[in-house]
Amino acid sequence: MPSSLSLPDRPSAEQIASLRAALSSANETRGPALAFGIAAVDDRLADRGLASAGLHEIAAATASLNDDAAATLFAAGIAARFASKRGDTVLWALSQFDLYAPGLEQVGLCPGRILYAQGSKDTQVLAMAEDGLRDGSLACVIAEVKAADMTATRRLQLAASDGRTPILLFRRHRTRERCPLRTVSAAMTRWRIGCVESARLPFPGLGRSRWSVELARQRAGNPFSLELEACDEQGRLALPAAAPDRAAARGRAVAQAA
């Protein structure tokens, strides 16, 4: 007859309480998460927002300039909200300076809050980002790189935890349509951003831009994808208005025009 397997004893109530206390202490050390303010997003995030002492990765959905710009503004909007919450400076480290300051300001990231650091290659950008994280005085760090292996992302995650500062690793310069997020990473969340068609307006003009916001991976949670309205002047995203709401808005617009 097969020998019986001995199962490990179940943890005691004291052990469970100790584990919960340790997890609570770890969350306090990381600091409160930055919520998006959208239940459809926050309810699906393990931390109900973006951990304020963690690594978060962002990539464009395709190699198009439109999607690259959307991913850039997505990162800028998050950084703007971290800066508004903490009242500190954002470090933006990159190797190719092609940012458009008025565009960043439109999503709440004013020029006076950005400290730029430029390196000649990814290793220098990653080193500057790590130094900024460990300093602990910044609201947020954004680093634009072409590639970062598991070792590099682990170092960034540790530095973010030590300095209690969030980092947004923007993986740019896609090659042959290969998504940068296919590589392994120590990031807590990994986002893929793309442009989608905006809603039609009842009058000539441009409506608020819309993005496809996909959480490709997160720790202790499931991936998801939503269509959201782009960042406003405070860096906040929004759910598209439902059809009845759009009809009501159209009616108000027509009445005002009359």
Looking at residue 18, what is its pLDDT? 66
Alpha carbons 30 and 13: distance in angstroms, whole number? 26
- pLDDT by residue for the chain (258 residues), tens only, comes to 444 444 445 666 776 666 556 545 544 444 689 999 999 999 999 999 999 999 999 999 998 999 999 999 999 999 999 999 877 899 999 999 999 999 999 999 999 999 999 999 999 999 999 999 999 999 999 999 999 999 999 999 999 999 999 999 999 866 667 888 989 999 999 999 999 988 776 666 667 899 999 999 999 999 999 999 999 999 999 999 764 444 444 444 444 444
Considering the entire predicted model, what is its pTM? Answer: 0.81
Looking at residue 162, what is its pLDDT? 95
Looking at residue 11, what is its pLDDT? 65
Distances (CA, A) of 133 to 129, 148, 182: 6, 16, 25
DSSP symbols for 50-98: B-TTSEEEEEESSSSHHHHHHHHHHHHHHHHHHHHHH--PEEEEESS--
**Helix, strand or coil, per DSSP, at residue 163:** helix
Distances (CA, A) of 61 to 9, 66, 189, 194, 217: 47, 10, 15, 5, 14
Looking at residue 86, what is its pLDDT? 75
The distance from CA 206 to its chain's CA centroid, rounded to whole angstroms, is: 26
**Helix, strand or coil, per DSSP, at residue 230:** coil
Distances (CA, A) of 38 to 13, 41, 79, 228: 36, 5, 17, 10
